[in-house]
């Protein structure tokens, strides 16, 4: 079986209405190209701004205008939508960096709150955000199983592996990957590595706002590029196939060959390793 997935690469600013108009335009294009799922970047609702800009005033609840509009667009275009937003918390200064999944009937099917906050490369997301509790988001479209992660989660291989162990055929990753020395190379390399080591499809929809990488891409289970974008706004549609996954896993059974018994001992600590 196959599923057509669209990756939308957009610019995001402070104008929430304008950001939603861009979402609407790409959703219509994805529907016209027979996509079943469209993935938008992290923080598609409102931009990150400068590092010290407060995000809480722009945050919304899951019943707010952003999710309501996503539901309307999903139902209108008959496709699933995954997009990032800033969600209110009970702390007046902190927000959740949340992915929202809406199905093709407009029903909110789940959320994922980013658990690895980007306190790296001189940046501190934890000053403005609260981490998620590790509740992951997975879903099935036309018999294909998907997992979802957010941006910095990509640097932690345990996250994609967990989805693979739970039966995912693909992981989709909304990102707002900051540009910088070697950063574009890191993004591409890590996405490709997660695909190869888990023999699964891995796709990223990135922001192309000034200061971000762009380079949205979909890799197949052997790490081959299916579709990709450069640095400009745009949309690509790639086909994922369960037959391709089965073929690759027959040739490269790394998941089947994993030594989970030993890994479990490692996690117990040094004493377990001496047994």
Handedness of CA 267, 134, 155, 117 (dihedral sign): negative
- Residue-level pLDDT at 55: 98
Is 169 part of any domain? yes
Q: Tens digits of per-residue pLDDT, 188-213?
A: 999 999 999 999 999 999 999 999 99
CA distance 131 to 120: 15
Establish whether 151 is a catalytic residue: yes
Q: Tens digits of per-residue pLDDT, 17-29?
A: 999 999 999 999 9
Helix crossing, 157-165 with 183-198: angle to 10°? 30
Check 60, 87, 114, 208 and give the catalytic one.
114
Confidence of residue 264 (pLDDT cuts 50, 70, 90): confident
Is 64 part of any domain? yes
Establish whether 204 is a catalytic residue: no
Number of domains in the chain: 1
CA distance 83 to 40: 5
CB atoms closer than 10 angstroms to residue 211: 12
Is 257 part of any domain? no
Q: Tens digits of per-residue pLDDT, 207-230?
A: 999 999 999 999 999 999 999 999
User: Going along the chain, which residue ranges are E strands?
Assistant: 2-9, 37-39, 80-88, 95-102, 108-113, 137-141, 144-148, 170-175, 201-206, 217-219, 225-228, 234-241
CB atoms closer than 10 angstroms to residue 157: 14
Establish whether 135 is a catalytic residue: no
Check 87, 125, 151, 213 and give the catalytic one.
151
Domain residues for the domain of 129 are: 2-247
Return the CATH number at 8: 3.60.110.10
Is 272 part of any domain? no
Is 6 part of any domain? yes
Is 252 part of any domain? no
Check 16, 42, 60, 213 and give the catalytic one.
42
Q: Tens digits of per-residue pLDDT, 88-134?
A: 999 999 999 999 999 999 999 999 999 999 999 999 999 999 999 99
């Amino acid at each position: 079986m196959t599923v057509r997935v669209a990756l939308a690469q957009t610019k995001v600013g402070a104008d929430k209405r304008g950001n939603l108009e861009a979402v609407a335009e790409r959703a219509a294009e994805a529907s016209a190209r027979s996509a079943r799922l469209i993935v938008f970047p992290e923080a598609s609702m409102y931009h990150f701004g400068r590092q010290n800009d407060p995000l809480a005033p722009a945050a919304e609840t899951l019943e707010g205008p952003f999710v309501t509009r996503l539901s309307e667009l999903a139902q209108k275009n008959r496709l699933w939508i995954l997009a990032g937003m800033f969600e209110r918390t009970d702390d007046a200064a902190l927000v959740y960096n949340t992915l929202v999944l809406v199905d093709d009937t407009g029903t909110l099917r789940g959320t994922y709150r980013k658990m690895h906050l980007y306190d790296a490369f001189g940046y501190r997301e934890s000053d403005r955000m609260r981490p998620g509790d590790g509740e992951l988001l997975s879903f099935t479209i036309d018999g294909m199983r998907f997992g979802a992660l957010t941006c910095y989660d990509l640097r932690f291989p345990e996250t994609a592996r967990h989805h693979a162990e739970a039966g995912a055929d693909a992981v989709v990753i909304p990102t707002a990957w900051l540009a910088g020395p070697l950063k574009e190379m890191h993004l591409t390399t890590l996405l490709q590595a997660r695909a190869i080591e888990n023999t699964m499809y891995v796709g990223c929809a990135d922001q192309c706002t000034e200061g971000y990488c762009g380079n949205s891409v979909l890799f197949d289970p052997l790490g081959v590029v299916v579709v990709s974008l450069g640095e400009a706004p745009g949309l690509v549609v790639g086909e994922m196939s369960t037959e391709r996954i089965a073929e690759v896993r027959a040739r490269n059974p790394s998941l089947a060959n994993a030594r989970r018994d030993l890994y479990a001992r490692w996690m117990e600590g040094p004493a377990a390793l001496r047994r």
